[in-house]
């Protein structure tokens, strides 16, 4: 490992001792991949001691997206998070947010770095960045994600590096670090193909800003995936046959288009199904996350290139990649999230976006973030960056949740993340609703007939078929009756309008 000697080697507790109550910290990490691990855990230890002594101790936490338990989980359990942005997925942090103990504001992931640079998020006191190597001259080779680490290091005066020996020492060349210029006269981001390299292989910082190196040897805290079940498999098959049919009809080029796919079990199943469909040619990804299924597709030759901002792999899969690194370095590029998710590039490349909804209404609006319109689940993540700008934007979800007691198709979403103007295709285990060029009533029929669960189909049709109120026949007095039924009797079935 390239370990420069000029920097002070400190323990995580020594680093945490330099951080004050009220400081805002930019931590590396996009999903648990490449997330800082040692220092946040030490800050949580410090917070507990301070709280026991009757002193306030909370920090502002900014990251790329979600992180691992040793960051979000440890800090939330220590009640040490003043505010948090953007996307998170930790159950302890989620609980603190929903109980009003931690302020959380959501952001499109592509916009976080710019907001950080221009000071909208206040002063960033420290950057805490995981790296696989650091040189005497301040060249940092990141690990399994880029996220917003480049921006955090640029804006912070003081940088701690967690030098993680778990990662391969050969990662240089996997990353492409580039930051856009200032507006208003900035030029285009010169990514014209998924594999275009536009920046540098290392993150270059003023070496004087690196005030401590914490050595560690720990894997990313990436959990395993649930086995594909009948529902997720059906969703995957529905997406892949829809796209194959679009090629057949000439609405997608025969050479196909780059794919963006969200994270989680459904995304895994969708990618698996794309891989198995013989009518879909070998393709590329321009996405934010590379997860286990992507690696399998690369090995089989079905996926020829993957551009993303994180390598979110289970430890066994990451080890397999490290054992075959020359093969994967030719096929993977990790960019800052500002570039991987940039609307300009998404539109230019003609990306097919595939993200997950919590619920969808019959008009095509999507809620990806709030349960019953109230409790935050995870956040919008990159779904807005891609959906609004994609060539074809797809949302997937199972047709029901909580054992059938919740219909994910509802008269009106209880929280809006993606509007009917940006959402083009809905896919559930029941089928595919193509909303393009349909008016609101045609969309409602398409979504209810093709995507809703049979238990809810008549109920949902009855909501709009007899209404005569306007272009979008919404009935304001009963639009949330299904949500209210669930909150009162834990079941959305049997609502009469």
- Report if residue 334 touches ligand 0RQ, rule: CB under 6 A: no
To the question of whether residue 264 is assigned a binding role by annotation, the answer is no
- Residue among 358, 360, 435, 444 that touches ligand 0RQ (CB under 6 A): 358
- Report if residue 371 touches ligand 0RQ, rule: CB under 6 A: yes
- Residue among 85, 355, 365, 399 that touches ligand 0RQ (CB under 6 A): 355
56 is catalytic: no
Piece in contact with ligand 0RQ (CB under 6 A), picked from 5-13, 70-78, 145-153, 378-386:
378-386
- Report if residue 38 touches ligand 0RQ, rule: CB under 6 A: no
Q: Is 11 helix (H, G, I), strand (E, B) or coil?
A: coil
The helix, strand and coil proportions of the chain, stated in percent and rounded to the nearest 5, come to 35, 20, 45
Pairing state between β 203-204 and 139-142: antiparallel
Contacts of 138 (CB under 8 A, 6+ apart): 204, 205, 206, 207, 209, 210
User: Which string of x and - marks every residue 172-201 that binds ligand 0RQ (by CB under 6 A)?
Assistant: ------------------------------
User: Which string of x and - marks every residue 77-106 that binds ligand 0RQ (by CB under 6 A)?
Assistant: ----------x-------------------
Pairing state between β 81-85 and 59-62: parallel
Smaller CB distance to ligand 0RQ: residue 139 or 237? 237
- Residue 124: exposed, middle, or buried by beta-carbon count in 10 A (0-12, 13-18, 19+)? buried
- Residue among 98, 201, 216, 265 that touches ligand 0RQ (CB under 6 A): 265
Smaller CB distance to ligand 0RQ: residue 167 or 415? 415
Please say whether the beta carbons of 21 and 55 come within 8 A: yes
User: Which string of x and - marks every residue 403-442 that binds ligand 0RQ (by CB under 6 A)?
Assistant: ---x-x----------------------------------
Please say whether the beta carbons of 371 and 377 come within 8 A: yes
Question: Binders of ligand 0RQ: how many residues, by CB under 6 A?
Answer: 27
To the question of whether residue 402 is assigned a binding role by annotation, the answer is yes
- Report if residue 376 touches ligand 0RQ, rule: CB under 6 A: no
Smaller CB distance to ligand 0RQ: residue 212 or 258? 258
Closest approach, Cβ 70 to ligand 0RQ, in A, equals 18
- Residue among 288, 338, 434, 446 that touches ligand 0RQ (CB under 6 A): 288
Closest approach, Cβ 358 to ligand 0RQ, in A, equals 4
Please say whether the beta carbons of 452 and 407 come within 8 A: yes
* DSSP per-residue string spanning 227-287: PP-HHHHHHHHHHHHHHHHHHHTTSS-TT---EEE-SSHHHHHHHHHHHH-TTSPPEEEE-
- List helix spans (H) across 29-172: 38-52, 74-77, 91-98, 112-117, 149-155
Largest Cα–Cα distance in the chain? 75
- Residue among 359, 361, 429, 434 that touches ligand 0RQ (CB under 6 A): 359
Q: CA dihedral in degrees (95, 395, 392, 245; nearest 10)?
A: 150
- Report if residue 63 touches ligand 0RQ, rule: CB under 6 A: no
Piece in contact with ligand 0RQ (CB under 6 A), picked from 97-105, 248-256, 271-279, 402-410:
402-410
- Residue among 4, 82, 320, 377 that touches ligand 0RQ (CB under 6 A): 377
Whole-number Å distance between alpha carbons of 62 and 116:
9
User: Of all residues in this chain, which one has the CB nearest to ligand 0RQ in the complex?
Assistant: 381
Which of 237, 288, 359, 446 does the annotation list as catalytic? Answer: 288
Q: What is the CB neighbour count within 10 angstroms for residue 209?
A: 15
411: which 2 tokens?
A: 């008269």
Pairing state between β 283-286 and 359-361: unpaired
Distance of CA 213 to the CA centre of its chain: 28
Whole-number Å distance between alpha carbons of 289 and 34:
12
- Interface ranges with ligand 0RQ (CB under 6 A): 31, 65, 87, 109, 262-266, 288, 355-356, 358-359, 368, 371, 377-378, 380-383, 398, 401-402, 406, 408
What residues are designated binding site?
A: 358, 378, 382, 402
- Tell me which residues are annotated as active site: 288
Annotated binding site for CoA: 358, 378, 382, 402
């Amino acid at each position: 490992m390239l370990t420069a000697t000029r920097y002070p080697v400190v323990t995580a507790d020594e680093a945490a001792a330099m951080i004050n109550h009220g400081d805002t910290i930019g931590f590396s990490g996009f999903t648990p991949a490449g997330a800082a691990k040692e220092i946040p855990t030490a800050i949580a230890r410090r917070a507990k001691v301070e709280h026991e002594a009757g002193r306030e101790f909370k920090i502002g936490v900014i990251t790329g997206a979600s992180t691992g338990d040793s960051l979000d989980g440890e800090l939330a359990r220590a009640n040490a998070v003043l505010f948090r942005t953007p996307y998170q997925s930790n159950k302890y942090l989620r609980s603190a947010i929903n109980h009003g103990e931690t302020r959380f504001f959501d952001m499109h992931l592509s916009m976080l770095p710019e907001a950080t640079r221009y000071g909208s998020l206040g002063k960033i006191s420290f950057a805490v960045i995981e790296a696989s190597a650091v040189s005497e001259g301040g060249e940092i080779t990141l690990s399994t994600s880029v996220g917003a680490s480049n921006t955090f290091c640029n804006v912070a005066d003081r940088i701690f590096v967690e030098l993680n020996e778990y990662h391969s020492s050969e990662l240089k060349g996997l990353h492409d670090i580039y930051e856009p210029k200032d507006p208003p006269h900035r030029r285009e981001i010169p990514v014209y193909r998924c594999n275009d390299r536009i920046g540098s292989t290392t993150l270059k910082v003023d070496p004087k800003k690196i005030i401590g190196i914490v050595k560690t040897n720990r894997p990313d805290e990436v959990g395993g995936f649930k086995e594909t079940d009948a529902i997720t498999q059906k969703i995957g098959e529905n997406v892949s046959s829809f796209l194959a049919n679009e090629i057949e009809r000439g609405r997608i080029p025969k050479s196909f288009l780059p794919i963006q796919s969200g994270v989680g079990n459904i995304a895994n199943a969708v990618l698996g199904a794309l891989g198995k469909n013989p009518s879909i040619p070998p393709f590329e990804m321009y996405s934010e996350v590379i997860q286990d299924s992507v690696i399998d597709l690369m090995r089989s030759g079905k996926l020829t290139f993957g551009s993303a901002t994180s390598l979110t792999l289970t430890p066994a899969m990451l080890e397999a990649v490290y054992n075959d690194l020359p093969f994967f370095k030719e096929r993977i590029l990790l960019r800052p999230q500002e570039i991987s998710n940039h609307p300009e590039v998404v539109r230019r490349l003609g990306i097919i976006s595939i993200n997950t909804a919590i619920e969808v209404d019959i008009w095509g609006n999507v809620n990806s973030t709030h349960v019953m319109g109230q409790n935050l689940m995870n956040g919008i993540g990159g779904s807005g960056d891609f959906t609004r700008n994609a060539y074809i934007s797809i949302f997937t979800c199972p047709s029901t949740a909580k054992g059938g007691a919740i219909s994910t198709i509802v008269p009106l979403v209880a929280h809006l993340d993606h509007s009917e103007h940006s959402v083009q295709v809905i896919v559930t285990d029941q089928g595919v609703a193509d909303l393009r060029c349909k008016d609101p009533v045609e969309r409602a029929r398409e979504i209810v007939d093709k995507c809703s669960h049979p238990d809810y189909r008549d109920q949902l049709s009855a909501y709009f078929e007899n209404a005569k109120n306007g272009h979008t026949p919404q009935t304001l007095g009963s639009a949330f009756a299904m949500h209210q039924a669930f909150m009162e009797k834990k079941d959305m079935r049997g609502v009469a309008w």
